[in-house]
Amino acid sequence: MTAHETAIAGVFPQPQEEQWRKLVDRALKGASIDSLVTKAYGAVTLAPLYPRAAAAAPKSLRRTPGRWSILGRVDYAPPEPANRLALDDLEGGADGLHLVFAGSQGAYGGGLTDDGAAALTKVFENIRLDYGIPVIIEASPAAPQVPATMIRLLDSQHIDPSITRVAFGLDPLGLQALHGFAAGAWPEAAKSFATQAKEILRAGFVAGTVAADARVVHAAGGSETQELAFALAAAVAYLRALTDNGVEIETARAMIGFRFAADADEFLGVAKFRAARRLWARVEEACGLTPKPALISAETAWRMMSRRDPWNNILRGTLATFSAAVGGADTVTVLPFTLPMGVPDPFARRLARDTQLVLQDESHIEAVDDPAAGAGGFETLTHDLCEGAWAAFQKIEAAGGLGAALEKGTFQGEVAEIAGMRAKNIARAKEKIIGANQFPDIAEKPLDVLAPGAAAGVSINPPAGALKTAPLTPRRLSEPFERLRDKSDAILAKSGQRPKVFLANIGSVAAFTTRANFAKNFFEAGGVEAVFGPEAETTTEIVDAFRASGAKLACICSTDIIYGDAAEPVALALQGAGAKLALAGRPGELEELLRKAGVAEFIFAGCDMHDVLARALEAAQ
């Protein structure tokens, strides 16, 4: 007897797809079920329902089954406080450390700035590297001496590098994509890369010496297939460079690790990490190797974080951590929730640790290897990502490999196309960011950080004769709305009050409340403070309330039926009182009439919210 033939626990009947479709048809009221299909960026679609996986697929297993490693971020430039924060992380439950140098992929405007012996000795003071704690180091052109310094540091402490888990993460192609320059074309640069990697190998380090790091693609707004294709192309380029310069392929394979961003999209997030393992296994097989689980590191995504209402970053980080862990990441770094504002303090770092500790020690999501295996939705998405990423990878290879693709700018152009689509959807609030384009807290109080952030980061000048290419610039998705809020803050600091919009409510509370609340959230997302008008019985009362509000901008709010009778006279009266006018809702047949009455803007779901707010901010001053 199977689960399909008996009730769950003898009580609940097993649902059938036909029953589900009948319920959906009733809910959609004649609309096609295809309206529930979501198109992700790139070539992947998400269906509302998936059948059980038809056949068993390869498991996506961690290199070491069981718990993933919780990493604490070391990114504060002064060595002594950086050391104290690192010790706090380790004593507070972190398994290892993630060293971020200025100019690296994960710096985001901060990072360590000194790669000298004295500085790194202080950073690692009282930290037992011989205990085998994982230490991920981010390569940076601003910190070229890190490998040599670390080798000397371990030698001075009489520690055999082979017993450590230090991963240097050499990644010249990733850094080229980030900064837009390289010392030379890849065929020549590959030799220098291989020479440095072999020096690290001879010193006794193996795992994670090289990193195929796709976070730069994610931070620049790329799709999941583009991230996977970039990482795969980088890994293949590094594998070729190592083997062409005398490293055995088995050893070269072991030296390569992967790094990906994890964001709050649970379904594609889990599928992306699972797909990464399958794609690399396909490359290993093509090289005549028996596939082995790759070392995959995850970091919660920079682009999803918001500087406004940053408490939401905790929720985003939790979902991203869950996705990475379920998808099989070996190490996870959670960006502290105040990172967009500057160097996180101990409280923010503690929450970043505790996010993972709760998921491990209370939820036990590491207890099952590849828990998504066999689930129809995850298996389908994993397969679709593999197919899309493999096609994109082959396109890069046909162009001469990742180095050539970056030099020509074709890959960057494709990422920019996806990023443009994403930016358009955010501007129209089709992709929602709580605290930014949805439900803003205009009166929020700033949170503490150890040092303010430098969004531009360290300026790294290309060396003489460098090969210059188009960069992939990291951007947080909420930045356009944050810039509007910054303008509002500057006006508040200068004049003592924010730009205001008066909500000219027509009719009863029941009639205007829905659109008045919509207008409040809409305008305050751009830093324009909403002032609710009263439940007025006459146009004169509305105009008197507008004059008393001190606002220069007014937004008419009510139902479409009431607009037909009252919107024009109210607009004319407000215009006569000096108001610049907007109306909440689509104008329909009334548009020409209302524009003649002075209404310049119509706000509704799906309009270009950012564009309207930019004009409203000016009009409200």
Question: Which residues neighbour 284 within 8 Å (Cβ) at sequence distance 6 or greater?
Answer: 253, 290, 291, 292
**CA-CA distance, 10 to 338, in Å (whole number)?**
49
Query: What is the pLDDT averaged over residues 73-87?
Result: 96
| Residue 603 placed within a domain | yes
The CATH number linked to 530 is: 3.40.50.280
Beta bridge partners of 170: 210
**pLDDT value of residue 210:** 97
In a domain, 20, yes or no: no
Give the pLDDT score at 458. 64
Residue 156 lies in a domain: yes
Q: In the structure encoding, which two tokens stand for residue 349, read together?
A: 């770092």
Compute the average pLDDT of residues 504-523.
Answer: 96
pTM equals 0.93
Q: How far apart are CA 369 and CA 565, in angstroms?
A: 64
| Averaged pLDDT for residues 100-105 | 95
What span, in angstroms and rounded, lies between the C-alpha atoms of 313 and 413? 29
Domain co-membership, 265 together with 405 = yes
DSSP 565: I
Is 176 part of a structural domain of the chain? yes
Which stretches does DSSP call E strand in 430-532? 451-452, 467-468, 500-505, 529-532
The average pLDDT across 474-502 equals 96
3-state secondary structure 463-493: CCCCEECCCCCCCCCCHHHHHHHHHHHHHHH
The answer to whether residue 600 scores a pLDDT higher than 50 is yes
pLDDT band of 7, cuts 50, 70, 90: low
Q: Are residues 115 and 213 in the same domain?
A: yes
User: Does residue 232 share a domain with residue 84?
Assistant: yes
Q: What's the full length of the chain, in residues?
A: 621
Please give the pLDDT value at position 621.
86
Whether 398 has a pLDDT exceeding 50, the answer reads yes
Please indicate, yes or no, whether residues 418 and 488 belong to a single structural domain of this protein: no
Indicate the number of domains in the chain. 2
- The predicted model gives 114-121 an average pLDDT of 96
Amino acid at 176: Q
In a domain, 63, yes or no: no
pLDDT, tens digit (0-9, with 9 covering 90-100), for 235-270 = 999 999 999 999 999 999 999 999 999 999 999 999
User: Same structural domain for residues 141 and 282?
Assistant: yes
pLDDT of residue 61: 86
Query: What's the pLDDT score for residue 17?
Result: 84
Predicted confidence (pLDDT) at residue 4 exceeds the cutoff of 60: no
Residue numbers of the domain that contains 570 = 481-619
Query: What local confidence, expressed as pLDDT, does residue 86 receive?
Result: 98
Whether the pLDDT of residue 69 is over 50: the answer is yes
Residue 457: band (very low, low, confident or very high) from pLDDT cuts 50, 70, 90: low
Query: Residue with structure tokens 């008066």?
Result: 502
Q: Report pLDDT for 358.
A: 97
Cite the DSSP H helix spans in 54-109: 79-91
CA–CA gap between residue 322 and residue 215 (Å, rounded): 18
- Which SS3 state, helix, strand or coil, does residue 97 take? strand
Tell me the pLDDT band of 539, cut-offs 50, 70 and 90.
very high
32 within a domain of the structure (yes/no): no
Is residue 31 in some structural domain? Answer: no
Residues 419, 510 within the same domain: no
CA distance 508 to 225: 51
Q: Residue 63 in contact with residue 256, Cβ under 8 Å?
A: no
pLDDT at 454 (0 to 100): 65
pLDDT class of 1 with cuts at 50, 70, 90: very low
**Same domain, yes or no: 171 and 277:** yes
In this structure, the answer to whether residues 536 and 412 fall within a common structural domain is no
| Residue (of 456, 454, 452) closest to 471 by Cα position | 456
Residue 162 has pLDDT above 70, yes or no: yes
Decide if pLDDT at 9 tops 70.
no
pLDDT band (50, 70, 90) for residue 3: very low
The per-residue pLDDT for 16 is 82
402/494 same-domain check: no
| Whole-number pLDDT of residue 55 | 75
Residue 103 has pLDDT above 90, yes or no: yes
Higher pLDDT, 225 or 19: 225
If asked whether residues 403 and 338 sit together in one domain, one would say yes
In a domain, 120, yes or no: yes
CA–CA dist 262, 268 (Å, integer): 9
377, 383, 385, 430, 530 from 45: Cα distances, Å? 11, 12, 10, 17, 39
Query: In degrees, to the nearest 5, what angle opens at C-alpha 64 toward C-alphas 61 and 66?
Result: 80
Query: What local confidence, expressed as pLDDT, does residue 19 receive?
Result: 87
Which CATH number characterizes residue 299's domain?
Answer: 3.20.20.240
CA angle 165, 170, 171 (to 5 degrees): 135
Which tokens belong to 147? 């490998």
Locate 250 and state its tokens: 């088995």
Give the pLDDT confidence of 174-227 residue by residue, as tens digits.
999 999 999 999 999 999 999 999 999 999 998 889 999 999 999 999 999 999
Do 159 and 285 lie in one domain? The reply is yes
Instruction: State whether 369 and 500 are in the same domain.
Output: no
Please check the confidence at residue 393 and state whether its pLDDT lies above 70: yes
Q: In Å, how far from its chain's centre is CA 94? A: 22
Residue 495 exposed, middle or buried by CB count within 10 Å (0-12, 13-18, 19+): exposed
